Amino acid sequence: MKEILAADQLGFPLLSALVVLPIAIAILLQCLRSESAQRQAAVGGAILELALAVFLVIEFVPGTADIQFVERMTWMPGLGASLHFGVDGISVLFVPLTALVFLMTLICSPPAGGRSSGRFYLTCIMLFEAITMGIFVSLDLLSFFVFWELALLPSYFLVRLWGVGPQRQYAAMKYVMYMLVGSAPLLIAIIMLNLNYQDAVAAGNAVAGQGFDFLSLMNVPINPENQTLLFFLMLAAFAVKGPVPPFHTWMPTMLMEGPIGMAIVLVGLKLGTYGMLRFVIPIMPEASYEWSSLMTWLGAASVLYGGAIALVQSNLRRLMAFASVSHVGLMVLGLFSLNMQSVQGSLILMLHVGLTSTVLMFLVGGLLWRTGSSELSAFGGIARQAPRLAAAFFVMGIASIGMPGTSGFLGEFMVLIGSSLRDWRVAAVAVLGVILSAGYFLWYYERAFFGPPGKNAFKLSDLMPREFALAAVMIALVFWVGIYPAPFLRITGASVAALVEHIERRAVLPTQAGIIEESDVARLEAHSDQHEEVR
């Protein structure tokens, strides 16, 4: 795996621009007096951010596992830490997804019903976007951790000051405490990885000065005992963020009490599963393989648990929270099945959830602003009063449960195929969870949109033109990925193939009593041939 410098590829630091631009907009907001000017500046900056992110994908060279648009700036040379930015097929699509999610948050979701957004609210959103971009493009574990922790600051203020529930202060504190408890083992793991790297440098097996670099750490051996410990330390942080049961209880609280804009980001951007794919599996392939059975069963159980709990919810926001838990479980199942189909399917599923769940959460926010409630008892007959809202909710709902022709079907199908190749029993359990997802969506939709009006029924306004236009764009993307996935599979394919080959070389084959069978060699050669064909 090589690196292609941004200076050679584009001639300017595009990834740094994507991180710095929202910060610059946040600073500009402090100089504007008018609230309308502040909002226009924030939305304009978010549109420019999305345009740069789309340009990044257009300039990205598919069919290679190389890290592209690389920037490296010395940060703490004494520790071997740097601001190392870069993207490959695993991370590049999350950049425009992040820009799109935050643009949706700014355009269509005021912080709370009827309350003025304010300069500080917009500033928090822009800083949150910059930090999230930093998470997705960082290849240095120390700078990644800094971005990871900084995300707590705007999150806390967004929930505490602009939450829609009466217990928003409790929700903000609960969220921060959960994330801090998860971050502590992540920091310990990063320090241990650095110490292991320094031992490799002393033994002459590594180059000094890159002790937190992802590519360097990925190629330094770790003894089995330490690797298992490191695996669970890093996994704890990403499981909490996922969320993966039993670390999921913060999610319903946040969606019930926090602002809809924050909820859109939480259900749309799966930072926890991204962390597992980006760092845990490549750096610790032996431990990932050793504990893969546990993780796949945990993923399948999460799918079933999330679907079952969502099925009995009468509150739409709580339903969305447990639906998110179910989606994360399916992603974990795909990641730790550790084959080409399942890992790539899980990656597509992360992107799919980013498109569908954000729109569904936005529509949930629209219902909340219009009715003052997200309880089923307040709904009924919505389809007759707001047909565009009902149509958009139905289309995104069936996409979220994996209807053929949508991105959800592609991701779920690849995950289930890949997991069944590893263990058909765990795939069968996951299928039951997928069936439950259809049950909870159709059960709620039929009663809320076609049932008799609630006891406090009143005239419900339909989607405004800008709301409907944004939903239509997201729906088009969902069907594009589902009907013609080839461009997206080309972008992600080579990097996923290289990851699977890395796992087989480091973990699968050495575990077979030191004997490499002809079938194993053939499988590795097949991966290599596939990689070359993509090139």
Mean pLDDT by 10 residues, the chain (535 residues): 88 94 96 90 95 96 94 81 92 96 81 58 95 96 95 94 89 94 94 90 74 88 90 95 92 92 92 96 95 96 95 93 95 95 95 93 87 83 88 93 90 94 92 90 91 68 85 92 93 95 84 45 46 43
DSSP 3-state of 502: helix
The Cβ-side half-sphere exposure at 265, using a 13 Å CA radius, reads: 27
- DSSP label at residue 280: I
Output the pLDDT for position 109: 56
Which pLDDT value is given to residue 520? 42
Let me know: does 390 contact 512? Beta carbons within 8 Å.
no
Backbone angles phi, psi at 39, to 5 degrees: -65, -40
Q: Do the Cβ atoms of 95 and 30 come closer than 8 Å?
A: no
Q: Give the Cα-Cα-Cα angle 330, 472, 115 (nearest 5 degrees).
A: 90
| Token reading at 253 | 């609280």
d(CA 360, CA 156): 23
The answer to whether the bond into 246 is cis (omega within 30° of 0) is yes
Task: Report d(CA 320, CA 133) in Å as an integer.
Answer: 25
Q: Dihedrals φ, ψ of 342, to 5°?
A: -70, -40
pTM equals: 0.91
**Residue 494: other Cβ atoms inside 10 A:** 24
| pLDDT value of residue 528 | 44
471, exposed or middle or buried, with CB in 10 Å at 0-12, 13-18, 19+?
buried
DSSP single-letter state for residue 244: -
* Interatomic CA distance for residues 208 and 333, integer angstroms: 37
What is the Cα–Cα distance from 33 to 39, expressed in whole angstroms?
Answer: 11
Q: How far apart are CA 467 and CA 359, in angstroms?
A: 10
Q: Which two tokens stand for residue 296?
A: 């796949």
| HSE-up of residue 18 (Cα within 13 Å, Cβ side) | 32
CB 70 within 8 A of CB 477: no
Closest Cα partner for 310 from 261, 242, 245?
245
In sequence order, what are the beta bridge partners of 85?
A: 71, 138
H/E run at residue 174: helix 168-202
What pLDDT is recorded for position 224? 84
pLDDT one-digit tens code per residue, 135-155? 999 999 999 999 999 999 999
CA nearest neighbour of 270 among 238, 247, 245: 238
3-class DSSP assignment, residue 181: helix
Angle at 339 (CA atoms; ends 320, 56), nearest 5 degrees: 65
pLDDT tens digits for range 204-249: 776 766 778 998 898 888 888 899 999 999 999 999 999 999 999 9
Is 170 exposed, middle or buried, given 0-12, 13-18 or 19+ CB atoms closer than 10 A? Answer: middle
Domain boundaries, the chain: 1-290, 291-484
The pLDDT of residue 519:
43
Q: What is the pLDDT of residue 512?
A: 55
